Structure 1
Amino acid sequence: MMYPKRLHPGQTVGVIAPASPPNLKHLHQSIPFLNELGLHVKIAPHVTSTYGYLAGTDKERVYDLHMMFADRDVDAIICAGGGYGTSRIADSINYKLIKQNPKIFWGYSDITYLHTAIQKKTGLVTFHGPMLSSDVGKEHFDSFSKSMFHQLFQPTLLHYTDAISPLNVISDGVATARLVGGNLSLLVNSIGSPYEIETKDKLLFIEDVGEEPYRIDSFLSQLKLSGKLDEAAGIVVGDFNDAEPKKRNESLTLDQVLHHYFANLDIPVLSGFKIGHCLPHFAVPLGSKATLSSLTASLTIEAGVS
């Protein structure tokens, strides 16, 4: 794996919108937080563009991503928001440019597709964390979630226990491996593509938002049938916000769905992590080595910066 360099006060972060149009009010309200961290902010030229449900055309969004990786004055890249659109641009990205200019890349939700593609093509560790217009710029963004940005300034060992949120053991075990994954629907979307999620001997992290139990069942079925669950060293179940059934009264619960796919795996599987579309939002470096343990009900992740 390739680790990006840590940030220092006085450096610059670039802001891009590689998926859907961000809420510009919330985006601008997020800038003071970055300034408080001692950072300058450079907003890509097409962040305010719209093309239907996309933040500009595919060409414009790729241009902004390339510009920020190529700009020697930009030391980190933070996504304004998610939505939809990153899978459309994966084939147009210059991964050699990213590999030659490794830097912090931060986002989640639809950004999962870019995390997976960049990691597969370059080996760069990237960060699954709260975004500017989606989270940081909103009034209810909490101090714990803000504190997760500190890991970008100093190599930090992250330790998640039930002191942060109640954790549930679905399957017993202990495993140490590199952490991969993100938004479940995007991981499933990658299967069969050149950017297919690789889970062999990895800790697979999953989360999602607004998906009913039958949809989550469908996604997990695809992971199972494609061998992704059997290959994993362990599974970290993050937050599944707004997962209640809506279309019909008869439904399995989310816990029943998770138990069906995970309980009989001979690997550690724990759920309840506040990682995903939630607050607090525990930000994690994808690609870093981590240890998942049912014995201590914990997840420990090595630093994502050098």
Structure 2
Amino acid sequence: MSVSRRHLLSLAAAGTALPAFAESRPVLRAPRLKPGDTLGLISPAHATYEREPFQIATEALQALGFKVKPGAHLRARHGHLAGTDAQRAEDINRFFADDGVQGLIALTGGSGGTRILPAIDYAQIRRTPKFFGGFSDLTALVNAIHQQTGLITFHSPTALSQWNGFSVEHFRALVMQAGTPLLKNPTGELGEHLVQTNDRIQTIRGGRARGRLVGGNLAVLTAMAGSAYWPDFRGAILFLEDINEYIYRVDRMLSTLRLTGALSQVAGVVLGQFTKCEPGEGYGALTLDELFDEYFLPLNVPVYRGAMIGHIRRKFTVPVGALAEIDADAGTLQLLEPAVG
């Protein structure tokens, strides 16, 4: 019997209400990563123009204990993209078919991931499930791969992210140790202040709920609306983050989620960091507080804001497709099953 099945049966025996999350397909888990494993380094979105970022990314992954195999087109360029659509998809498909590669991680984000979704070999991924991680524009691929194959993927640091102690700890716990950590912002970090001023949690609507995690970058997620790669939101825990978007654009994107029916289907919402999302020049704007209240309070599900997810220095690794419990009063996500095998 699976870990999640045992957990849910114990909850039922205790009289706890069970979630109504969707189980539309079997969930696949990649083998956990081990020191000495080889990671395929890919660039599915923006081109990288200088040599040093490739060196830094390679050294960081090696410091984590991995060998690194660069994609054949890692340094390619096609306009702002890291090669043509065919080249970027080919690197992903080759690494999933390569028995000498145990996982794939993106060099960086940017834009362009949605362009290659039809060219990904999802049948191959089902045959050879492997770790796949990245964030920002990688929202397209981590959600599409899970939707098409059932594989749990990872909204994780990219190879060029800041691999500080916090980010490394959460990455290793989920991806290398097959743990079920509690994703909780650190507390008690006062610095020179009387109270904590950074990484604070705001409860928008309290409560607990369980569901499978979907989400990521709001702009990229909404760009997938109506496609075959759009996530299944039924009974899901939705997590969102964004950067450098005027508030009226955030409003428009949340409206898209509402119009598609996605928001009405979720069991809970975790809002990460909306970094530099401010009023645009010449526009009157709602505040983010007002905007989030208007969209999420009517859902009558648990919602909290401020999770360490997004374009920030220290970040959680979040497994897309894994079963989790949100506690909006405490501002936490508890993983209820391992995300890797």
TM-score, normalising length: structure 1: 0.94
- Superposed, which structure 2 residues align to 1:117-128 within 5 Å? 117-128=144-155
SS of 2:339 mapped into structure 1: coil
Q: Could you tell me which residue of structure 1 aligns to residue 54 of structure 2?
A: 27
Q: Indicate which of 169, 175, 182 corresponds to 1:147.
A: 169
- Superposed, which structure 2 residues align to 1:127-166 within 5 Å? 127-133=154-160, 135-136=161-162, 141-150=163-172, 151-163=174-186, 165-166=199-200
**Deviation string, structure 1 residues 1-46 (Cα, Å, up to 9, x no partner):** 1111011111111100011113542231122222222211000110
Q: Could you tell me which residue of structure 1 aligns to residue 28 of structure 2?
A: 2
**Deviation string, structure 1 residues 248-291 (Cα, Å, up to 9, x no partner):** 36321111111110122211011100101112111111111110
Give the Cα separation in 2 of the matches to 1:172 and 1:38.
Answer: 40
Deviation at 1:174, TM superposition (A): 0.9
Q: Does 1:264 align with 2:298?
A: yes
SS of 1:14 mapped into structure 2: strand
SS of 1:208 mapped into structure 2: strand
Deviation at 1:122, TM superposition (A): 0.3
Unpaired runs of 5+ in structure 2? Answer: 1-26, 188-198
Deviation at 1:162, TM superposition (A): 4.3
Whose Rg is larger?
2
Moved more, 29-38 or 253-262: 29-38
Give the Cα separation in 1 of the matches to 2:57 and 2:171.
Answer: 13
Give the Cα separation in 1 of the matches to 2:166 and 2:282.
Answer: 36
Give the Cα separation in 2 of the matches to 1:193 and 1:214.
Answer: 24
Give the Cα separation in 2 of the matches to 1:32 and 1:163.
Answer: 28
Aligned amino acid, residue 155 of structure 1? A
- Give yes or no for contact 1:105–1:127 (8 Å, CA) kept in 2: yes
Give the Cα separation in 2 of the matches to 1:202 and 1:209.
Answer: 23
Deviation at 1:181, TM superposition (A): 0.8
- Give yes or no for contact 1:199–1:232 (8 Å, CA) kept in 2: yes
Q: Could you tell me which residue of structure 2 aligns to residue 76 of structure 1?
A: 103
Deviation at 1:111, TM superposition (A): 0.8
Give the Cα separation in 2 of the matches to 1:118 and 1:209.
Answer: 23
Deviation at 1:83, TM superposition (A): 0.9
Q: Indicate which of 198, 207, 216 corresponds to 2:232.
A: 198
Q: Indicate which of 87, 92, 105 corresponds to 2:114.
A: 87
Cα distance change on mapping 1:38 and 1:142 into 2, 3 Å? closer
Give the Cα separation in 2 of the matches to 1:161 and 1:75.
Answer: 29
Give the Cα separation in 2 of the matches to 1:211 and 1:295.
Answer: 28
Give the Cα separation in 2 of the matches to 1:217 and 1:22.
Answer: 31
Give the Cα separation in 1 of the matches to 2:289 and 2:214.
Answer: 22
Unpaired runs of 5+ in structure 1? Answer: none
- Give yes or no for contact 1:171–1:265 (8 Å, CA) kept in 2: no
Q: Indicate which of 234, 248, 253 corresponds to 2:287.
A: 253
Q: Could you tell me which residue of structure 1 aligns to residue 254 of structure 2?
A: 220
Give the Cα separation in 1 of the matches to 2:52 and 2:279.
Answer: 32
Aligned amino acid, residue 257 of structure 1? L
- Give yes or no for contact 2:247–2:280 (8 Å, CA) kept in 1: no
Deviation at 1:142, TM superposition (A): 2.6
Moved more, 163-172 or 45-54: 163-172
SS of 1:193 mapped into structure 2: coil
Moved more, 117-126 or 28-37: 28-37
- Give yes or no for contact 1:177–1:201 (8 Å, CA) kept in 2: yes
**Deviation string, structure 1 residues 177-231 (Cα, Å, up to 9, x no partner):** 1111111111111111111122111001111111111110000111111111110
- Give yes or no for contact 2:234–2:265 (8 Å, CA) kept in 1: yes
Give the aligned CA root-mean-square deviation in angstroms: 1.4
Give the Cα separation in 2 of the matches to 1:161 and 1:147.
Answer: 13
Q: Could you tell me which residue of structure 2 aligns to residue 15 of structure 1?
A: 41
Aligned amino acid, residue 33 of structure 1? A
Q: Indicate which of 286, 303, 306 corresponds to 2:338.
A: 303
